Amino acid sequence: MTGYIVRRLLSLIPVLIGVTFLVFLVMQLAPGDPAQIMLGPKATETSLAQLRHDLGLDQPWHVQYFRWIGRVVQGNWGRSIQLKREVLPFILDRFRNSLYLTVLAALIACTIGIPVGILSAVRQYSVSDRATMVLVLVGFSMPIFWLGIMLQILFGLKLGILPVSGLQSPERSDVLDLISHLILPSMALATGAMAIIARMTRSSMLEVIRQDYVRTARSKGLSERLVINRHALKNALIPVVTVVGMQVGYLLGGDVLVEIVFSYPGIGLAMINGILARDFPLVQGAILLVASSYVLVNLAVDLLYAYLDPRIRYG
């Protein structure tokens, strides 16, 4: 297992290099002049040329890329043009907020989606199976921003039991207040992932429970619960783990709409504000952090594969 982990870690190096190159290339192609943005519309050509020289923007793109990589490795991710502060501490703080939201949304999606998928597979073509799949289709089809607004109206305005925006109340800073602010956005964020996980779990379980070893386990007189939990579920989890990993990676950087609707101070909202303000260092740092996190999530999924199926690590 150790050798497999080392191989997977080494394989991340070219992936991360590719991620940094793509992030840099996209920002190079983006419209706007950082020097013009920093100095304003009344800046003279002389001052603009001097600032471009100070920032290294007058160098060839490959020179700029390797200089940027060198600064990133040293922990210097630049200064935000809009906020006038270091990029790395700011995006780490915003990323932590998004991580709270992602973890809770993933827990909700898995806690509901996996059992629902198992139940639908065990009771295939029953009334509960058909009703569940209809609800899953509805959950998958609902626009996330519309669902977020409906949750705000119902639980925030009508019932008045949950806050509808922000991360914490001004007069409170405890854990319960933080959780209360996370419930509605995490529910909106989890709905689509929950539907996808439920469908994949059902499909994978239906394939597994028709296998010979499952029928053999039943013929031995084992209870249905034991057959499902011990013999079928673990073998059905590999494609489910794949989907869960993809959804977690998506939730880390794809919760922009939820953060906008709920005015939630996460990395997605920071990226949108940075794009609107042409804050290239901020956007570049945020994209790099999210992309790197997605790569690490994929690594965790690969390691979980090896745990679920030992044959993978020898492949």
At 289 the pLDDT is 86
Residue 78 lies in a domain: no
Q: Is residue 246 in some structural domain?
A: yes
> Which CATH number does the domain housing residue 130 bear?
1.10.3720.10
pLDDT digits over 187-217, tens only? 988 888 888 898 888 888 888 887 777 777 7
| 153 band by pLDDT with thresholds 50, 70 and 90 | very high
The sign one gets for the Cα dihedral 24, 25, 28, 29 is negative
Instruction: Read off the amino acid at residue 307.
Output: Y
Residues 221 and 269 in one domain: yes
Nearest to 289 by CA among 36, 33, 97, 67: 97
Let me know whether 47 and 115 are in one domain.
Answer: no
Q: Are residues 246 and 302 in the same domain?
A: yes
Distance of CA 243 to the CA centre of its chain: 12
Residue 207 lies in a domain: yes
Instruction: Enumerate the β-bridge partners of residue 256.
Output: none
Q: Where are the alpha helices (DSSP H) in the chain?
A: 2-29, 34-39, 45-55, 61-73, 87-122, 127-141, 144-151, 175-208, 212-219, 224-226, 233-253, 256-261, 267-276, 280-308
Cα torsion at 102, 106, 107, 108 (round to 10°)?
Answer: 100
Confirm if 105 and 189 have CB atoms less than 8 A apart: yes
Residue 309 confidence (pLDDT): 67
Of 53-62, 113-122, 294-303, highest mean pLDDT: 113-122
As given in the structure block, the two tokens for residue 294 are: 């997605």
pLDDT digits (tens, 9 = 90+) for 93-108: 999 998 899 899 999 9
CA angle 49, 54, 58 (to 5 degrees): 55
* Final residue before a domain boundary, out of 73, 106, 124: 73
Whether the per-residue pLDDT at 313 is higher than 60: the answer is no
Inside any domain, residue 82: no
Inter-residue contact 91 to 245 (CB < 8 Å): no
In the chain, % of residues over pLDDT 70: 95
If asked whether residues 110 and 172 sit together in one domain, one would say yes
Is 177 part of any domain? yes
pLDDT tens digits for 254-292?
578 888 889 888 888 888 888 877 788 888 888 888 888
Same-domain check for residues 284 and 233: yes
How much is the average pLDDT of 143-158? 88
pLDDT band, residue 146 (cuts 50/70/90) = confident
User: What is the greatest pairwise CA distance in the chain?
Assistant: 86
Residues 21 and 155 in one domain: no
Is 80 a member of any domain?
A: no
Determine, yes or no, domain membership for 81.
no
Range in 67-76, 227-236, 266-275, 282-291 the model is least confident about:
227-236
Minimum mean pLDDT range among 23-37, 166-180, 258-272? 23-37
For the cut 60, the answer to whether the pLDDT of residue 314 exceeds it is no
Contact 145, 257 (CB under 8 A): yes
Predicted local distance difference test score (pLDDT) of residue 208: 82
Contact in structure between 100 and 182 (CB atoms under 8 Å): yes
Average model confidence (pLDDT) across the chain: 82
Residues 36, 136 within the same domain: no
Q: Are residues 68 and 106 in the same domain?
A: no
Which position has the higher pLDDT, 41 or 196? 196
Residue with tokens 């579920």: 233
- Examine the domain organization and report whether 157 and 119 are in the same domain: yes
What percentage of the chain reaches a pLDDT higher than 90? 7
**pLDDT-derived band of residue 302, with 50, 70 and 90 as boundaries?**
confident
Residues 173 and 228 in one domain: yes
C-alpha–C-alpha distance, residues 172 and 167, integer Å: 11
Residues 125 and 57 in one domain: no
- List, as one string, the DSSP characters of 76-123: ---B-TTT-SBHHHHHHHHHHHHHHHHHHHHHHHHHHHHHHHHHHHHT
Residue 132 and residue 126: Cα distance in Å, rounded?
Answer: 10
pLDDT at 229: 73
Does residue 7 form part of some domain? no
Position 315 pLDDT exceeds 60? no
Provide the 8-state DSSP code for 277. T
How many domains does the chain fold into? 2
pLDDT band, very low/low/confident/very high, at 52 (cuts 50, 70, 90): confident
Statement to judge: residues 68 and 155 lie in one domain: no
Q: Which long-range contacts (CB under 8 A, 24 or more apart) does 259-262 make?
A: 259/98, 259/101, 259/185, 260/145, 261/145, 261/148, 261/149, 261/152, 261/185, 261/188, 262/148, 262/152, 262/164, 262/165, 262/166, 262/184, 262/185, 262/188
Residue span of the structural domain in which 133 resides: 96-314
Q: Are residues 270 and 282 in contact, defined by beta-carbon separation less than 8 angstroms?
A: yes
Residue 1's pLDDT is: 62
Q: Residue 90 has what pLDDT?
A: 92
CA distance 298 to 110: 17
